[in-house]
Structure 1
Amino acid sequence: MLRTAAVVLIDGVAPFEFGVVCEVFGIDRRDDGVPLVELSVCGEHPGEPVRSNVGVRITPDHGLDTLVAADLVAVPACDIRAEYPPAVLDALLAASARGATLLSVCSGAFVLGATGLLDGRPCATHWRHAKTFTARFPEAKLDPDVLFVDDGDIITSAGTAAGIDACLHLVRRELGSGPATAIARRMVVPPQREGGQRQFVDTPIPAGAGDSLQPVLDWMLGTIATEHTVSALAQRARMSERTFARRFVAETGTTPHRWLSTQRVLHARRLLEETQLGMDDIAGECGFGTAALLRHHFHRVVGVAPKDYRRTFAHRAALA
C-alpha cells in the first residue's frame, strides 16, 4: 500500500516537474476518496535552498534519511550534468534495496542511470535527450518513443505531460482507478494515456474546435461495448478512412483499435474494483465478448490477469 512518498531535490531541479509530483502525491484529497499519501520534500542538506533551473530556490524540509524510508521516491527533471551528488545516489540505492518504488520524470532518468539501477532494464526519458542518455548509460534499455515505462519497482517517464501520465498510472496501480480518476479530474487532465503511446503527435492542437475528434471519442466511450470499425467511425467523423486513421493517430498518439482496447481495459478495471460481476459479464460489458479476450487485452495493458487484479485491489480497498 502506498502510504509515504518522497521527492528529492538537487541543484538545477525543474520546478514544473517537481510540481507534478507534488500535485499528484502531495495534496490531501480524502474528500474525493483518495487515500492520503504523506509526501516529504528531501535534500542532501535540509533547510538549505536548492537552486532550480529557472532561478527560483526551493528549500527541502527533510534529509535523505526520510527519502530512504519512503514507499515511493520521485526524482523530478533536473539539469543534465557529468556527476550527481554521491549522497543522493547512495540514498536512492538504499531506498531501492529496502523495496521502495522509484519514479523519474523526464531527465530525472539520468539520476537513476547514474546509480546503475537502470542497467539491463527498460526505461524512458525525453526524446530530446535519448542520444545523450544512451551514450552515457549504454547498458540501459532505453525506449526513446514511449510516454513512460513501468518496470515494477522503477517507473521512468518522458517529458512534462508524460510525467503526469506516469504519476497517475502509479496511483492507479497502487491505489486503484477511482483515486486516479479523481486526481485527474481535479487536475483537468486525461485520466489515462497508455505508456506505449508516442511521446509527441503530429497535430496536438486541432486547427479549430470543429476539427477535433473529441465528439467521436466521446461517442466511442458511450458505446464501448459496441464493435466499431474504422469505416463506421470515419463516416461518423465525415472523413475518408485514410484521413480519419491519420487524424486519429495525430490527435491521440495511437490507432483507433488500440485506443478503444485501452479504454475497454480501463472500464474493466473499474468493474473489477467496484462490482462482483463474473469475467464473462465484464467481458460483455466492456466489448471484449469473451473472458479469454478480456484476459489477453487486460494483461497486455495492466500486466496481470483480471482475477489477480481484482484480488489485489479488493484487499487494498478493505485496508483503505
Structure 2
Amino acid sequence: MNRSTRPHRVAVLIRTGFIPFELGIPHRIFGIARDAEHRPLYEVVTCTPGGPGLVRSDSDVLVQVEHGPEALETADTVVVTASHTPGPDGAEEELTPELAAALARIRPGARLMSICTGAFVLAAAGLLDGRPATTHWLESDRFRQLYPRVALDPDVLYTDDGDVLTSAGVASGVDLCLHVLRRDHGAAVAQEVARRTVVPPHRDGGQAQYIRRPVSIERVFEREAERADAAGGRVASTAAARSWALDRLDEPLTLSDLARHAAMSVRTFTRRFRDETGESPAQWLTRQRVEHARTLLETTELPVEQVARRCGFGTAQSLRAHVQAVLGVTPSAYRRTFHRAA
C-alpha cells in the first residue's frame, strides 16, 4: 500500500518514566478513527529511543515496546510524550545522545506533536525555535528560561503551527489529537471519536481556568508582610491596603481609596504597589475579583448577576467580559465545568 492509500502512520515516542495516560491518548483518539467504509484512518505504533523492550512508566506499569527509533523514519506524525526522568523535561536540560539520535531519524516533512512537557524535547532539539508552543503551566517559567527563542503561550490548551503542534498539561493531549483529527478528516469524524471516547469534541478556554490562585493565601502573606514591616521599621508597604480591599471587593474601590488607606499619595502608592506585586492596582483588583467570581461560580447557585455584584463588577456583562478575558471561557461555561454541588 503506498503512502497515499495506506493509513496515516503515527509513531508515539516514549521513554523511561513516561505517563501511561499520555501514551493512551493518541492510541485511543487516532486508533479508533474510521472512514465512511469503517477503514482505519491511522496506524498508531509505539517506539522508544533505546530499541524494543520493556519500558517502565512513572508508576508500576511496564510496557513491552516492539519498535525502536527506526519507526520514526516511516512515521507521518511523531508524538512526543512527557517523561519524569533525566532529560529536557526532567532533571536535566540537554537531550541524551540516544534521544538526539532518535529524533534525527524523523523523516523530513513529518508532522511533530508533543503532549505536556514533551515540548521540552522538541525545544531542546531546536524544533520549536521561532514557533508558537505551549506546555504544562507549572513548567512554563522553566521553559521560558531554557528556551527563550520559542514563542511560549502558557494559557492555551494547544498550539498549531502547521507541521508542529504542542499541547499543555496531560489531558490537553486529548484536545490536541481531536483538533488534528478535525484538521485531517473534518468535524464529523472528530465528533464521532469524541462521542465514543465520552469527551467533549472541543473544550472552551485554555489553561488559565485550571490555575488556582487562592485569595485567602495571598491575604495571609500580605498580612505577614505588613506585620514584618511594622516590626522592622522598614518602608511602608501596600499590604494593608490590599488586605483591606480583599474584604471589600463588592464595593466600587478607587485608586484614591486604596492610596488613602495606605496613607500614601496616589503616585507613591501606585509605584510601590507595582514594585510589590508586579501589577498596577487596577490589574490586581480585577484579578482578585475574577478569583472571587471563580469561587462563587464553583460553590454557589447564585445567578450570574448576583455574582457580578458580589465581586464588584456591577453587571453580568462586565463579569462576562472580565472572566472571558482572564480565563478564556464565559462564567456559565466555567460553572458547568467546575461547579461543586453543596
TM-score, normalization by structure 2: 0.59
What is the Cα-based RMSD across aligned positions, in Å?
3.5
Equivalent residue number for residue 66 of structure 1: 71
- Comparing 241-250 with 185-194, which one deviates more in the overlay? 241-250
The answer (yes or no) to whether the contact 1:8–1:74 under 8 Å persists in 2 is: yes
Distance in 2, Cα, partners of 1:4 & 1:211: 50
Distance in 2, Cα, partners of 1:252 & 1:124: 16
Equivalent residue number for residue 261 of structure 2: none
Pick from 188, 195, 200 the counterpart of residue 198 of structure 2. Answer: 188
Distance in 2, Cα, partners of 1:159 & 1:153: 20
Equivalent residue number for residue 147 of structure 2: 137
| 1:4 partner SS | strand
Say if 1:50 and 1:138 are closer, same or farther in 2 by CA, change over 3 A.
same
Distance in 2, Cα, partners of 1:16 & 1:117: 25
Say if 1:188 and 1:246 are closer, same or farther in 2 by CA, change over 3 A.
farther
Distance in 1, Cα, partners of 2:174 & 2:138: 18
Pick from 113, 125, 129 the counterpart of residue 103 of structure 1. Answer: 113
Distance in 1, Cα, partners of 2:73 & 2:12: 11
| 1:44 partner SS | coil
| 2:10 partner SS | strand
| 1:146 partner SS | coil
Equivalent residue number for residue 245 of structure 1: 320
Q: Please give the residue correspondences for 1:156-305 in structure 2 after superposition, counting only pairs within 5 Å.
A: 156-193=166-203, 197-201=206-210, 202=294, 206-207=298-299, 241-242=316-317, 245=320, 249=324, 253-255=328-330
Say if 1:187 and 1:81 are closer, same or farther in 2 by CA, change over 3 A.
same
Distance in 1, Cα, partners of 2:297 & 2:26: 25
Equivalent residue number for residue 82 of structure 2: 77
The answer (yes or no) to whether the contact 1:68–1:91 under 8 Å persists in 2 is: no
The answer (yes or no) to whether the contact 2:70–2:105 under 8 Å persists in 1 is: no
Matched, 1:42 2:51: no
| 1:103 partner SS | strand
The residue type paired with residue 128 of structure 1 is L
Distance in 2, Cα, partners of 1:49 & 1:131: 33
* Alpha-carbon displacement from aligned partner over 1:101-120 (angstroms, at most 9, x marks no partner): 11100011111111111111
Pick from 94, 103, 122 the counterpart of residue 92 of structure 1. Answer: 103
Equivalent residue number for residue 151 of structure 1: 161
Aligned pair count?
A: 231
Which runs of no fewer than 5 residues in structure 2 stay unpaired? 85-89, 211-293, 306-313, 335-342
Equivalent residue number for residue 16 of structure 1: 21
> By how many angstroms is 1:88 displaced?
2.8
Equivalent residue number for residue 216 of structure 1: none
The answer (yes or no) to whether the contact 1:7–1:76 under 8 Å persists in 2 is: yes
> By how many angstroms is 1:68 displaced?
2.2
Say if 1:251 and 1:145 are closer, same or farther in 2 by CA, change over 3 A.
closer
The answer (yes or no) to whether the contact 1:105–1:157 under 8 Å persists in 2 is: yes
> By how many angstroms is 1:78 displaced?
1.4
Which runs of no fewer than 5 residues in structure 1 stay unpaired? 214-229, 231-238, 260-320
> By how many angstroms is 1:167 displaced?
0.7
The answer (yes or no) to whether the contact 1:158–1:199 under 8 Å persists in 2 is: no
The answer (yes or no) to whether the contact 1:198–1:254 under 8 Å persists in 2 is: no
Distance in 1, Cα, partners of 2:36 & 2:176: 23
Distance in 2, Cα, partners of 1:91 & 1:205: 47
Distance in 1, Cα, partners of 2:54 & 2:113: 23
Pick from 5, 9, 12 the counterpart of residue 4 of structure 1. Answer: 9
